[in-house]
Amino acid sequence: MTLLSIPNVSEGARPEVVDGLAERVRATAGRVLDIHRDPVHNRSVLTCTADPEGLIDSMTTLALEAARVINLSDHRGVHPRIGALDVCPVVPHGESIETATRVAGALADSIGNAGLPVYLYGDAAERAATRELPDIRRGGIEGLIERSRSGLPPDRGPGEIDPARGVVCVGARGPLIAFNVWLVADVSTARAIARQIRTASGGPPGIRALGLRMDEGISQVSMNLTRPDRMGIDDAFSLVEQAAQARGAAVRATEIVGLVEEIYLPNPDATAARLLIEPGRTVESLLS
C-alpha cells in the first residue's frame, strides 16, 4: 500500500535548482523515485513517496522552497503555470482514493498554514468550480488573481495571491499519464490537433491536450490522459497520428513524462513505443 505525490515545479531550465528541490524532499523523509526535467516547458515533474506524515512534511517543505527560489514574474516556458510548486496531487498506488483525499486535505492545511495560498482540485475539491485543474488555470496567474477577488478565493492560506509565487494546487486523483507527441509542424497545427482530440472540445473521454511550440518548425501535442483505463497511450497516439496525417504533418517522437503503472505502458511493438525519446519507466520497478 503506497501513496505517491507527483509535484510539478515551474523550473526545468536550471538543473541545480531542481536538484536542490529534490534534496529538500529527501531531507524531510520523502523518497524521490523520478525527476523529469524539461527546459522548453521550463517545468519539472517529480515522483515522490512517503508515509502520510512524511508526504505532508516533504511536500510542504518543497512548496516553501519552490516559492523561495522560483519567481513566476521572470518565468519563461511554453507550459502554463500558476504557481512555483504548480500542482501537487496525491495519488494512491494500491491504496484507496479516500485515503489520498484525506492526506491531500491535510497537505493543503499544512501548506496554507505555512503561508501559501492553496486551491484544492480533483477528488479533494471542495467546490465544483475548482474540481477540474484547467478551470483553475484558466487565464493564467493574472486571471486567477482576478477571480480570487471576485468570488473564488483560495481554499487554504492567504486570500491575497502574490503573482511572483502564485498558488499551489493540491489534489487527489487516480492514475494519470502525461504523454507528448512531437510533430514536424508549426504550432497552429499542434493546437488544431489538440483542440480536435481533447474531451472538452468533444473528443473521446479522458484527454486533456495542448498544442505547444518547441522549436522552429517543431511543435508538440502535450496530453494528460486522465482515464488511462479507457484512453491509453497507444489509442491517444493513434488519434494524434491520424489528425497529423490529415494535415500533412509528420510525427517525430513521443515522450512519457514521469512514471506510469506497468499496466499502462504502450505496446512495445507499436509505433508509440518505438518513437519514445526515452523508454517508459514504471512505478513498480522503482518501488521494489
DSSP-derived letter for residue 163 is T
Count other Cβ atoms within 10 Å, centred on residue 51.
13
Choose among 49, 38, 65: nearest CA to 6: 49
Amino acid, single-letter form, for residue 56: I
Task: Show the 3-state SS of 59-125.
Answer: HHHHHHHHHHHCCHHHCCCCCCCCECEEEEEEEEECCCHHHHHHHHHHHHHHHHHCCCCEEEEECCC
Amino acid, single-letter form, for residue 269: D
- Does the annotation mark 79 as catalytic? yes
Q: Please state, in angstroms and rounded to a whole number, the distance separating the CA atoms of residues 209 and 222.
A: 6
Helices marked H in the chain — which ranges? 15-27, 52-69, 97-113, 133-137, 140-148, 187-197, 233-246, 271-274, 283-287
Degrees, nearest 5: CA angle 131-136-142: 165
User: Of the listed 36, 75, 79, 93, which one is catalytic?
Assistant: 79
Amino acid, single-letter form, for residue 171: G
Between helices 97-113 and 52-69, what is the axis angle to 10°?
A: 40
Residues with catalytic function? 79
